[in-house]
Structure 1
Amino acid sequence: MKFAGNVVSRLGRRLLIVESDAGQLPPLYTEVADEQSRSVGKIVDLYGSVSRPYLTVLCSTDSSAGVHAGDKLYVIPETRPEKPRKTSPHKYGRDMRANRR
């Protein structure tokens, strides 16, 4: 898994402030996990300077209890379903264009 950053602090029960690496900045709304690959929550905000960005992670209610300042978070790889492939590379097929005059 790709490294997302180190937890700097907690804000209440559901928000984490994470210091990230500028070279490996994850995109918004990406799922993050702890070192045991347990889902923690989603990245909901990016802020700070370009050289030292910070992330805000909105934790899911059941998994945020074990995360503390100093813990490392990782990006959960996104799995997208495969799109069905078209049978013909052309909109009307080759036969329609061949018959046109």
Structure 2
Amino acid sequence: MKRLGTALHVVQNKLIVQSEEIVGRGAGIPRGSSWVVDQKRTRVGKVFDIFGPVNRPYIIVLPNKGMDAAAHIGKKLYIDEAPGRDRKWKK
């Protein structure tokens, strides 16, 4: 699990997350459609779009159906980096 950032707002049922500061080449911006999870590894949704400054971008997360996006405001969110997990969901 890699820390994504802190959830700030809900706009049109999408969660706006301010990412952690990106320093150096090793740290990167998450890929689109990456799974976003909370601290308990419960899937919150997927990365929908990325915008804003390069060193600390904002990330739009499209929540899963039935997920209350407002419940995650102010909480830390993470990118699930489990190997091979993205491949089986791309179909």
What is the TM-score when the length of structure 2 is the normalising length?
0.75
2:20, 2:58 → 1: CA distance? 9
2:8 matched residue in structure 1: 8
- Give the structure 1 partner of residue 84 of structure 2: 80
**Superposition RMSD in Å:** 1.9
Spell out the pairing of 1:38-77 with structure 2 (5 A cutoff): 38-65=42-69, 67-77=71-81
Q: Which structure has the greater CA radius of gyration?
A: 1
Q: Structure 1 unaligned runs (5+)?
A: 82-101
Stretches of 4+ aligned residues off by more than 4 angstroms: none
SS in 2 for 1:77: coil
- Partner SS state of residue 72, structure 2: coil
- TM-score, normalisation: structure 1: 0.68
Q: What's the counterpart of residue 16 of structure 2? A: 17
Could you tell me which runs of 5 or more consecutive residues in structure 2 were left unpaired when the two chains were aligned. 86-91
